[in-house]
Each structure stands twice: as C-alpha cells, then as structure tokens.
Amino acid sequence: MTLNLKKTLEIGLSFLLAAIILWWIYRDFPFSSVGHVLRHDIDWGWMLLSLLFGIFPQVLRGIRWRQALEPLGERPRYRHCISAVYMSFAASLVIPRIGEISRCATLHKTDGTPFSTALGTVVTERIIDSLLVLLIIGITFLFEIPAFYRFFQSIGLNADSFFSTFSITGIIITIACACAVIAGGLYLAHRLRTAHGIKDTLARFGKGVASVRHVRSLPLYLLNTVLIWVCYFLHFYLAFYAFDFTSALGVHAGLLAFCMITLAVLVPTPNGAGPWHFAVKVVLLQFGVGMENAILFALIAHALQTLLVVLLGLYGLLTISMGKHTKHTQFQ
C-alpha cells in the first residue's frame, strides 16, 4: 500500500468517524430551527467576544514559538510564525494531526528554519501544554468528582467494572486514537529519515526539544502558555452567555465541559467534530439543559469556531503568499 493511499484512507476514516458520530447525535434534530436561532435567539455580542478569544491563543502560540526558536539561532519573523500557526489549525481540519508538521514546513519555506529544529520546539510545546491541561483536568476533577463520574457512566464507562462496560463507542474511539498515534509516529519517522541525514536531524530535533531551557525569559514563556489556555477556556465558556439556556450555568459547568472537549478532540476527527459535540451534549444534560438545546449549542458553537479556524487559515495563507510576492518583487 503506497503512502498516498494510506493517507487517503486515514483521512477518509477520520471523516467517516465524524460523520457517524454526528449522524447519531443529530439523527432526530430539527435543523429547520437553526436559522431562527441564528437570527433571533443568539446574543451576537457575547458570541463575537467568544470568537475573539479564539484568535488570541493562536497569536500567542506564534509568539511563544518564536521565543523557543531564538536560542537556537533561528529568528523567523513573528508574522510568519503566527501565520504558520493559523494555517496549521486549518490544515488539521482536512488532515487531522497534520498541523504540527504543516507549520514547521511553512516556516522552513518562509524563513529557512530547519524542519527538525522547528519540530523539536513544537514537541516541547506539546509536552508543556499537556502537563498544563492535565493540571487543569486534575483540579477540576477534585471539585467535580460526582460530575466526572456521571459523565463517564453516560458514555458507557463504569469505574466499578471498566472493561465489562466499555461501550462500542468507547472501543471505536480507543482504536481510532491508537491508529492516529501509530500513523503519526510512522509519518514523523518518515519525515526525519528524508531530512539532511538521521544524525544531523536528530541533533537538531534534540536541540529544539531542549530549547525552552534557554529562552530569553522563561517566566514570559510560561505566562504565554497559561494565557493560551485561559483564552481557550474563554473561547468556549463565553459562548454560554450567547444563549438563554446556558447563560446561567456558571464557571464550574464551563470548566467541566472544557475538560471533556479537551479530551474529546484527541479523537482523530476534523476539529474534534462528533466527539466534541457528544462531550458538550453530555455535560450540558447533567446541568439541566434540555436535549435539543444541548445539541443546538454544540452545533452552533462548534460550527462558528470551525469557521473561525478556516478564516484564520485563509488569512495566514494570504499573508504568507503576499510576503513571498513582495520579496520576489524586491529582487526584480
């Protein structure tokens, strides 16, 4: 099986998984009501504020990335780092988990930053982000143990008999995640082998991973990391205030839902489509929101967030393209 065929199958299965979950959630949903809700029942002030906080994390990611590259002697332009981040999230809508590879390749083309060096800094980012997310989930869990327990019971996971009650949905999600990890590892190994030689590539990669120790201001790097995740939370939580039926839920409901969608997007579907909706629906139901309203919120919030990712990706592509055109014109 060729690499292109494998990638095509991976993409196809990702979209198929998303489609199956979305069909199951919305099979009886009256879509005719969506237009009326968009025109009359949304507080667009709150929704636009929510979307604004969807831009900030990507900008901060670009700035943080530039911080990590500087100690390695790489000084790409800030706007290229930010545009590469924009494009990476948009690329992941088409090919899940390709974003990290995409932004490193983009920066290599625009500023000559070695792919393996950039990838090493991205790996460090992921490790730090993962530790922070685990901390957020752990703290939320301590305050919301009953809610977590009800959530996992509702998706077919019972702490008293974990394996015997593992639902078919849980099995599918687990297999999909495992396949994504394996495929990502194989693809990364392939990219490393086709770089400038295994030894040089691994050396650059190692320097990239260790770069965070030498950033000019480690507190600023860590502050950017915290702000990224605060903005992600506000991006999601402020959307509650755009709907009457979620505006009074409070921060604890927002944190629980945020933790669940953070776990849900590990499933390799475009922008977490399907698992994201399912997680939000289950959490909102626990806090007294009706079924139709719960899945309506998930549908509209996720659709608008995905649209924002697409628009930012197009903006990043336009910025990169205009930069190349300007550079080319200067040398004519």
Q: Residue ranges per domain, the chain?
A: 3-22+33-322
Evaluated on CA atoms 66, 68, 70, 76, the torsion sign reads: negative
Task: List the one residue out of 126, 125, 101 whose CA is nearest residue 115.
Answer: 101
First to last CA, the chain: 45
Contact 321, 109 (CB under 8 A): no
DSSP one-letter code for 241: G
Contact 220, 63 (CB under 8 A): no
**C-alpha–C-alpha distance, residues 234 and 154, integer Å:** 26
Cβ atoms < 10 Å from Cβ of 197: 11
pLDDT of residue 168: 57
At residue 100, the 3 state secondary structure works out as: helix
Q: Which two tokens stand for residue 74?
A: 């790489």
Q: In the chain, which residue ranges form alpha helices assigned H by DSSP?
A: 3-26, 32-36, 44-69, 78-94, 99-111, 115-143, 145-154, 168-193, 198-210, 218-237, 251-264, 275-286, 291-330
**C-alpha–C-alpha distance, residues 108 and 118, integer Å:** 8
Q: pTM of the full predicted structure?
A: 0.79
Q: Which two tokens stand for residue 60?
A: 């901060």
Q: Which two tokens stand for residue 228?
A: 């990224």
| Dihedrals phi, psi of 131, to nearest 5 degrees | -65, -40
Please state which of the ranges 52-61, 195-204, 243-252 shows the lowest mean pLDDT.
Answer: 195-204
Mean pLDDT of 280-286: 90
Please state which of the ranges 41-45, 123-127, 214-218, 250-254 shows the lowest mean pLDDT.
Answer: 214-218
The helix-helix angle for 3-26 and 291-330 (nearest 10°) equals 150
pLDDT at 233 over 90: yes
Contact 127, 303 (CB under 8 A): no
**C-alpha–C-alpha distance, residues 97 and 20, integer Å:** 20
pLDDT of residue 32: 86
pLDDT of residue 153: 61
pLDDT at 33 over 60: yes
**Over the stretch 86-121, which tens digit does the pLDDT of each residue have?**
999 999 888 877 888 999 999 999 999 999 888 888
Contact 237, 297 (CB under 8 A): no
Evaluated on CA atoms 161, 162, 164, 169, the torsion sign reads: positive
